[in-house]
């Protein structure tokens, strides 16, 4: 009898699969997880191919087949190859991000008929709402223009009724025996949209996000891979869901930075959506009130592929009135005018949202005696004061008790500025009877459930909802008539080329929360520099003007979308080592790209804007190029030869980085 072999991929930076012998009594399938030995260690891998010949003579046996069913499809394995090629990583590293980790019971079951619970017959989907004229025209145009890989950009302010268009398209896909995928930034903030979808589609929808218990999430995933469900709603990683006969990939709030993965390989779900749509005869529907610059521009430069649709009308309510005020320069957290407006709202029984994108009680601790701010001992950033008495680093979570003395000179320290904790305290003392709730990453860590807070707000059990940028997304509460944004321009001080775009987008989003019901909404934006043009354009809700201005700036400074940006970052606990290695890398880059006319510019090497995080010194190089595709093979070869020599540090390579801090 001939031997059979399986090619196995690992969650490791290996550039290819390794061969293992399949025992005669074993029947792994392509896509099954297997247990094997690799360098004398037990590892879990995924079978990506079967073969009759092994590439080497010394081949080990597969020790166990872990799953009775494949956990990934051939399409996903192909996608992993493409991902590895683009992000210059191992195919296994991407593949292992494509499915939720199976619960223990699934791993140990030897039965081949592991079953997912039967799905109740979905009620005949009925959209219930009819589309208005504008929505209907867009819907018809999307239907008429089906072509693989095409993208339709729905540019409409919050509340313009994009969800109803999504629902109609998903229903059509289902009726044709095809499937659809809807991506949202965060499930907890999309409660209402999901309720609406479940009303229409019932249990035909598979939810995929990290907030679900592991078993439920995995079973939902299984129901998709087994073709029992064709509709998926989820966050970033749901882009990998193996939806059968996929017809639409819908990306709501397409500008949201959560579509970018935050550990290597740092894939962008929006880019993957384009690859998937192309290879699987699907189309992309992307919706946003503030589309990314590159998405909006693609509609102008490549109209045959990227279709632009503007939804102007607000399905309910009218546009809010926006006012920009000078932020108080004394110790008051908010201006007198905003206090008056909150009072008015409380008296009228209407709800208020306050956004302050700053965690903790006070953001600065300084010592008068030696004239310094108190920094994190592990990072090159200042510590924040959190109540009751902790100094916390927002980058590495270092914390120490605040005993009021300076670690440098022993002098007395003072805290200054306002974070959300201090704002909450101020509001509570000012509005004694108001029901106030704060949401930020600290309150959700403290066990308070974000979803619960939001539900209570929707049920009108709260008067004021306040917090960090979490509250700017997706929230649709009709009785909110006042939105206040504090320290609106703080994001503009970051040294990052996307800082303006992010600030504009955040302000537009949060302003869109006001006045969605029958009452007129008011928005008050407080800024240290109220004259800043980005603040003004956001206040005027003028995307077109912002788009033109920002595009001119990017063109003049040669930043995306006018070039491709590539980032190489070396981090090491040894500063000299990091500096020496980044210099070596810079030289290599120079010589690698010397013959490439498409390599426009090499910036650096230089310390990253945040030079040290968690005791790691960070040095980086940015490359601006016209075509990443053309220089990628050379870069891959260069990185493969460089990486093994990097013994005391790490190299992070990132094409199209989300930020460069
Ligand atoms: Zn001091
Ligand atoms: Zn730190």
For 129-165, the pLDDT digits (tens) are: 788 888 999 999 999 988 999 999 999 876 678 889 9
**Which residue reads 């520099």 in tokens?**
529
Q: Which ligand is nearest to the CA of 395?
A: 2
Residues in contact with 468: Cβ distance below 8 Å, sequence separation at least 6, in sequence order = 355, 356, 357, 358, 359, 420, 439, 440, 441
Please tell me the distance between residue 423's alpha carbon and the centre of ligand 2 in angstroms: 24
Domain 133-311 belongs to what topology? Rossmann fold (3.40.50)
CA 217 to chain centre: 19
Tell me: the pLDDT tens digits for 206-262?
A: 999 988 888 899 999 999 999 999 999 999 999 999 999 999 999 999 999 999 998
564-655: CATH topology: Alpha-Beta Plaits (3.30.70)
Q: What is the pLDDT of residues 488-510, one digit of tens each?
A: 998 888 778 999 999 999 998 88
pLDDT at 118: 54
Q: What is the mean pLDDT of the chain?
A: 89
| Nearest ligand to the C-alpha atom of residue 409 | 1
pLDDT one-digit tens code per residue, 289-298: 999 999 999 9
Q: CA-to-CA distance for 609 and 570, rounded, in angstroms?
A: 13
Q: Is 107 helix (H, G, I), strand (E, B) or coil?
A: helix
Q: How confident is the model at residue 111 (pLDDT cuts 50, 70, 90)?
A: very low
3-state secondary structure of 204: helix
133-311 and 321-360+419-556, same CATH topology: yes
Ligand nearest to the CA of 370: 1
CATH domain 321-360+419-556 topology? Rossmann fold (3.40.50)
What are the domain boundaries of the chain?
A: 4-108, 133-311, 321-360+419-556, 364-416, 564-655
Burial class (CB in 10 A: 0-12, 13-18, 19+), 454: buried
Q: Which residue has the higher pLDDT, 318 or 656?
A: 656
pLDDT tens-digit readout, 587-625: 999 999 888 776 678 998 999 999 999 999 999 999 999
Q: Which CATH architecture has domain 4-108?
A: 3-Layer(aba) Sandwich (3.40)
Q: Which ligand is nearest to the CA of 406?
A: 1
Q: How confident is the model at residue 357 (pLDDT cuts 50, 70, 90)?
A: very high
Q: Please, are residues 608 and 618 in contact by the beta-carbon 8 Å criterion?
A: yes
- What spacing in Å lies between the alpha carbon of 249 and ligand 1's midpoint? 56
pLDDT value for 475: 67
Consecutive H or E run containing 367: strand 364-367
User: Could you tell me the distance, in angstroms and rounded to a whole number, from the CA of residue 412 to the centre of ligand 1?
Assistant: 7
Ligand nearest the Cα atom of residue 373: 1
Residue 315 scores a pLDDT above 70: no
Interval between CA 374 and ligand 1 midpoint (Å): 8
* Residue 421 confidence (pLDDT): 95
């Amino acid at each position: 009898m001939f031997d059979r072999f399986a090619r196995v991929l690992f969650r490791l930076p290996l550039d290819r699969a390794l061969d293992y012998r399949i025992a005669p009594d074993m029947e792994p399938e392509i896509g099954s997880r297997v247990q094997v030995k690799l360098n004398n260690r037990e590892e879990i891998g995924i079978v990506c191919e079967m073969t009759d010949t092994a590439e080497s003579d010394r081949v080990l046996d597969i020790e166990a087949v872990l799953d009775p069913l494949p956990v990934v499809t051939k399409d996903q394995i192909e996608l992993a190859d493409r991902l590895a090629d683009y992000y210059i990583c191992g195919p296994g590293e991407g593949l292992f991000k494509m499915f939720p980790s199976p619960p223990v019971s699934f791993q140990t079951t030897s039965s081949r008929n592991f079953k997912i619970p039967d799905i109740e017959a979905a009620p005949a989907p009925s959209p219930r709402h009819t589309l208005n004229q504008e929505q209907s025209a867009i819907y018809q145009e999307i239907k008429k223009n089906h072509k693989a890989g095409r993208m339709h950009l729905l540019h409409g302010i919050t509340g313009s009724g994009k969800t109803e268009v999504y629902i109609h398209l998903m229903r059509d896909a289902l009726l044709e025996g095809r499937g659809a995928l809807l991506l949202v930034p965060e499930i907890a903030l999309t409660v209402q949209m999901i309720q609406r979808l479940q009303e229409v589609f019932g249990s035909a929808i598979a939810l995929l996000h990290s907030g679900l218990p592991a078993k439920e999430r995995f079973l939902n995933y299984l129901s998709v891979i087994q073709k029992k469900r064709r509709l998926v709603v989820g966050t970033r990683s749901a882009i990998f869901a193996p939806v059968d006969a996929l017809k639409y990939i819908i990306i709501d709030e397409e500008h949201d930075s959560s579509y970018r993965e935050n550990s290597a390989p740092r894939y962008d779900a929006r880019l993957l959506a384009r690859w998937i749509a192309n290879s699987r005869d699907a189309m992309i529907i992307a919706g946003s009130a503030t589309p990314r610059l590159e998405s909006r521009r693609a509609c102008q430069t490549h109209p045959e592929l990227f279709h632009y649709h503007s939804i102007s009308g607000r399905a309910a309510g009218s546009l809010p009135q926006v006012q920009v005020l000078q932020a108080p320069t004394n110790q008051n957290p908010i201006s007198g005018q905003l206090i008056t407006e909150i009072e008015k709202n409380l008296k009228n029984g209407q709800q208020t949202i306050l956004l302050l994108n700053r965690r903790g009680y006070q953001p600065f601790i300084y010592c008068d005696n030696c004239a310094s701010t108190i920094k994190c001992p592990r990072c090159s950033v200042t510590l924040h004061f959190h109540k009751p008495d902790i100094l916390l680093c927002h980058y590495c979570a270092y914390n120490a008790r605040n005993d009021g003395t300076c670690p440098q000179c022993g002098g007395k320290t003072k805290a200054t500025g306002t974070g959300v904790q201090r704002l909450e305290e101020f509001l509570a003392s000012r509005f004694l009877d108001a029901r106030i709730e704060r949401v930020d990453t600290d309150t959700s860590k403290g066990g308070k459930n974000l979803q619960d807070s939001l539900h209570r707000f929707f049920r009108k059990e709260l008067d004021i909802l306040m917090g960090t940028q979490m509250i700017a997304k997706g929230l649709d509460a009709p009785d909110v008539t006042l939105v206040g944004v504090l320290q609106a321009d703080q994001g503009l001080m970051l040294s990052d080329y996307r800082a303006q775009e992010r600030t504009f987008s955040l302000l537009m989003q949060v302003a869109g929360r006001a006045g969605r019901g029958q009452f007129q909404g008011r928005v008050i934006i407080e800024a240290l520099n109220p004259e800043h043009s980005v603040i003004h354009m956001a206040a005027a809700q003028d995307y077109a003007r912002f788009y033109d201005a920002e595009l001119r700036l990017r063109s003049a400074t040669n930043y995306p979308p006018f070039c491709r940006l590539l980032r190489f970052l070396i981090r090491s606990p040894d500063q000299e080592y990091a500096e020496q290695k980044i210099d070596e890398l810079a030289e290599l880059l120079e010589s690698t790209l010397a013959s490439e006319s498409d390599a426009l510019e090499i910036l650096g090497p230089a310390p990253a804007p945040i030079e040290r995080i968690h005791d790691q010194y960070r040095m980086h190089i940015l490359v601006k190029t016209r075509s990443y595709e053309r220089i990628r093979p050379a870069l891959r070869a260069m990185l493969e030869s460089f990486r093994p020599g990097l013994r005391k540090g790490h190299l992070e390579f990132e094409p199209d980085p989300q930020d460069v801090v």
